[in-house]
Amino acid sequence: MARKGTQSATSSAFLTVREAAAATHRTPQTIRRKIAAGELPATRLSPRGSLLVPAESIVALLIENRVETPNV
């Protein structure tokens, strides 16, 4: 979700929990559980700010969980 006129080059390298959930077809709670379990890195820009997940971690999660489909 792009923020109109305020997105910098560095902020595009991160996704919010909601964006990460949508990208991986999981719920936000599942993403938060993975963060809490240490399975996904996340950071906050301020103590009360949103959790931000590196986009590269989401790509890695998608690749790791990719299911091969049989040739029919």
CATH at 51: 1.10.1660.10
Average pLDDT, stretch 36-44? 96
Flag whether 4 is in a domain.
no
Q: Would you state the pLDDT for residue 27?
A: 96
Flag whether 55 is in a domain.
yes
Residue range 3-21, pLDDT digits in tens:
444 444 445 699 999 999 9
Q: Would you state the pLDDT for residue 56?
A: 96
Average pLDDT, stretch 27-36? 97
CB 57 within 8 A of CB 43: no
Angstrom CA distances, 60 to 1, 13, 40, 63, 67, stand at 20, 14, 10, 5, 14
Q: Which residues form the domain of 47?
A: 13-64
Share of the chain above pLDDT 70, in %: 75
